């Protein structure tokens, strides 16, 4: 009887451990079934939400030596009445060389309170009415923000884990008073979950390479190509952008006003979009 009881005791322990092991395996594997993004959900706007968008431009020569730097920053607010968005506190600061201090940021008053419907076509010639023709980096703030929100929110339902996605065919984009941009295939990929600002987020990578670019602005011409990429943190609960990065390299031949020769330039852009107030 003692032997039988001992055998029963050890058998019970074994079964208990096996059951616990299976439970752990099940608990570990069950989240895999949840690796799907919510379907059919809209972006939740509970009121105004303001972001800070900061972009650094580094212009270098063919040897990689930085000859000019510029920082552009502004505040973007969405969730306004009537589905409008707005810009304010847009500034630009310059610096010569790789280590010089940035100048005092100069406010772009023409963008103070600049507002428009979220669904507006930002490529229409009249969209930037009131902007100086040479205000290229300021226009980029608008275009970049629109792109990040589109990549992070418009294709949410179609993304699958670790599967590159693209249904965006090549497109020649006319940028009024700036030039043209030939967007080749843009690829999105949902690579997992993360957290930002206390929100569970889907982390989405995006990239688009070998995009021909031509700029004709203020007597300056630039013919080259653009490669850009970045990451977007999108709240699973609200589909709001909780954080985003942007990287871009533009390489091309530039001709300045009153010059007959061209020079090769390399412009590297690095930026972050993050909420400063949120609902």
The 10s digit of each residue's pLDDT in 109-165 is 999 999 999 999 999 999 999 999 999 999 999 999 999 999 999 999 999 999 999
Cα angle value 52/57/62 (rounded, 5°): 160
Residue 31, pLDDT score: 52
In terms of DSSP H, where are the helices of the chain? 2-33, 136-149
pLDDT grade for 5, boundaries at 50, 70 and 90 = very low
Cβ atoms of residues 48 and 80 within 8 Å: yes
pLDDT grade for 99, boundaries at 50, 70 and 90 = confident
- What is the residue whose two structure tokens read 């023709």? 133
The sign of the dihedral angle between the CA atoms of 30, 199, 85, 178 is negative
Q: Is residue 19 part of a domain?
A: no
Q: Is residue 12 part of a domain?
A: no
DSSP string, 25-72: HHHHHHHHHT----SSPPP---S-EEEEEEEEEEEE-TT--EEEEEEE
Task: Please give the structure tokens belonging to residue 262.
Answer: 């061209």
Instruction: Return phi, psi of residue 149, to 5°.
Output: -65, -40
Residues spanned by the domain of 81: 40-277
**Mean pLDDT estimate for the chain:** 87
Residue 211, pLDDT score: 95
pTM of structure: 0.85
Cβ atoms of residues 128 and 139 within 8 Å: yes
Whether the per-residue pLDDT at 190 is higher than 70: the answer is yes
Write down how long the chain is. Answer: 279
Whether the per-residue pLDDT at 6 is higher than 50: the answer is no
Q: Is residue 64 part of a domain?
A: yes
Closest CA to 188 of 224, 157, 146, 212: 157
The 10s digit of each residue's pLDDT in 221-278 is 999 999 999 999 999 999 999 999 999 999 999 998 888 899 999 999 999 999 997 6
The Cα–Cα gap between 138 and 70 comes to 12
CA dihedral 153, 158, 163, 167 (to 10 degrees): -90
Whether the per-residue pLDDT at 11 is higher than 50: the answer is no
The 10s digit of each residue's pLDDT in 62-80 is 889 999 999 999 999 999 9
Q: Is residue 23 part of a domain?
A: no
Q: Is residue 3 part of a domain?
A: no
Q: Is residue 27 part of a domain?
A: no
Instruction: Return phi, psi of residue 137, to 5°.
Output: -65, -30
Whether the per-residue pLDDT at 8 is higher than 50: the answer is no
Number of compact structural domains in the chain: 1
Q: Is residue 106 part of a domain?
A: yes
The Cα–Cα gap between 41 and 37 comes to 10
Q: Is residue 127 part of a domain?
A: yes
The Cα–Cα gap between 236 and 203 comes to 10
């Amino acid at each position: 009887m003692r032997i039988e009881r001992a055998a029963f005791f050890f058998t019970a322990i074994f079964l208990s451990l096996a059951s616990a092991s299976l439970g752990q395996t099940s608990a570990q594997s069950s989240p895999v079934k949840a690796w799907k993004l919510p379907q059919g959900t809209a972006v939740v706007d509970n009121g105004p939400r303001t972001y800070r968008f900061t972009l650094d431009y580094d212009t270098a020569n063919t040897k990689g030596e930085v000859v000019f730097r510029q920082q552009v920053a502004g505040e973007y607010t969405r969730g306004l009445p009537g589905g409008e968005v707005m810009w304010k506190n847009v500034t630009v600061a310059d610096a010569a060389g790789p280590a010089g201090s940035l100048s005092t940021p100069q406010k772009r008053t023409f963008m103070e309170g600049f507002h428009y419907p979220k669904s507006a076509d930002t490529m229409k010639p009249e969209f930037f009415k009131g902007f100086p023709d040479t205000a290229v980096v300021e226009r980029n703030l608008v275009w970049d923000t629109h792109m990040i929100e589109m990549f992070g929110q418009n294709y949410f339902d179609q993304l699958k884990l670790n599967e590159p996605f693209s249904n965006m065919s090549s497109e020649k984009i006319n940028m009024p008073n700036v030039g043209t941009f030939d967007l080749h295939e843009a690829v999105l990929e949902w690579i997992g979950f993360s957290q930002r600002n206390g929100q569970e987020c889907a982390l989405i990578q995006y990239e688009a390479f070998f995009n021909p670019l031509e700029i004709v602005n203020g007597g300056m011409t630039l013919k080259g190509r653009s490669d850009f990429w970045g990451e977007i943190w999108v709240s699973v609960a609200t589909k709001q952008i909780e954080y985003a990065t942007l990287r871009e390299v533009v390489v091309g031949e530039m001709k300045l006003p009153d010059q007959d020769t061209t020079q090769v330039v390399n412009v590297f852009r690095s930026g972050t979009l993050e909420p400063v107030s949120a609902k």
